[in-house]
């Protein structure tokens, strides 16, 4: 049995793979090119890639407002394009994942400003945006995590005793 995927130099030799070769080492005895199931993995990859391309063509991404979902209301600092990505960072930065997550600051109706934590969070978002704007390079240098580091009360520097 010859392996059809060998290089030209190898394929010119008359060397054959022994018939009693351990199938765990070379894949199946009938197909020595199937070493460690590489061919199966490649076929799986191609299938998944084709499905992803097909899904992108058949189900193009439609903005949330066009899908029948309501656009967020009462956005004063964030934008519809960035609010969800930023909101998802807050529970970790504040360490409130086990304290209700989003509900730590929000009511069931997310547009309400009745909780003091939401009002304070909005002020902090504005502060972080102002600090980052002062750098002038458009990069994010400061986030909620910078001060909070997983706590609802940010650590502050201790005043040295004189």
Q: At 155, is the pLDDT very low, low, confident or very high (cuts 50, 70, 90)?
A: confident
In terms of Cα–Cα distance, which of 46, 64, 48 is closest to 56? 48
Report the C-alpha gap between 113 and 121 in whole angstroms: 11
Higher-pLDDT residue of 67 and 155 is 155
Higher-pLDDT residue of 17 and 43 is 43
Four-residue CA torsion sign, 109, 111, 114, 118: positive
| Domain range list for the chain | 8-58, 65-148
- State which H helix or E strand residue 67 sits in: none
Structure tokens at 32: 């020595």
Structure tokens at 134: 């002062």
Question: Which pLDDT value is given to residue 131?
Answer: 93
């Amino acid at each position: 049995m010859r392996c059809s995927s060998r290089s030209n130099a190898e394929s010119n030799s008359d060397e054959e793979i022994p018939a009693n070769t351990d199938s765990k080492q070379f894949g199946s005895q009938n197909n020595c090119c199937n070493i460690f199931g590489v061919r199966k993995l490649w076929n799986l990859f191609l299938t998944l890639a084709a499905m992803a391309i097909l899904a992108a063509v058949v189900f193009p991404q439609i903005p949330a407002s066009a899908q029948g979902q309501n656009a967020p209301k009462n956005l004063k600092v964030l934008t519809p394009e960035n609010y969800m990505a930023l909101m998802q960072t807050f529970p970790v930065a504040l360490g409130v994942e086990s304290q209700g997550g989003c509900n730590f600051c929000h009511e069931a109706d997310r547009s309400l400003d009745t909780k003091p934590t939401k009002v304070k969070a909005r002020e902090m978002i504005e502060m972080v945006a102002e600090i980052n704007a002062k750098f002038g390079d458009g990069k994010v240098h400061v986030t909620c995590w910078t001060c909070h580091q997983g706590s609802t009360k940010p650590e502050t520097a201790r005043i040295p005793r004189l």
